[in-house]
Amino acid sequence: MKKMIVAVLAVTVFVGSAFAADVIEMKKGVSFKHKAHVESLKDCKKCHDKAEGGKIEGFGKDFAHKKCKECHNEMKKGPTGCKNCHTK
């Protein structure tokens, strides 16, 4: 039974990353490399409410400025300055 659960979870993660958009163009000239984040973090719940991903409740400027910058600072990689995200 445990092997079956592990297999189902593995397939869920694989399918989620296989269908993840490569780059998402957001407002104010921000390009979000979703597929790169999926491959790097390997945990959709870092951003999404559910392990399988989906819409991020409350996503917007305040969410991104807090959550994304917090994660980038924590991991010591990724942009944290205005002009590093807002390139256009």
pTM over 0.75: no
Domains of the chain: 2-85 (3.90.10.10)
Q: SS3 for 28-80, per residue?
A: HHEEECHHHHHHHHCCHHHCCCCCCCCCCCCCCHHHHHHHHHHHHHHHCCCCC
Read off the amino acid at residue 13: V
Q: What is the pLDDT along the chain (88 residues), one digit of tens a residue?
A: 666 555 555 545 444 444 557 999 988 889 999 999 999 999 999 999 888 888 888 898 999 999 999 999 999 999 999 999 998 7
Q: What are phi and psi of 25, to 5 degrees?
A: -85, 120
Q: What are phi and psi of 39, to 5 degrees?
A: -70, -35
Please compute, for residue 88, the number of CA atoms within 13 A of its CA located in the half-sphere on the CB side: 8
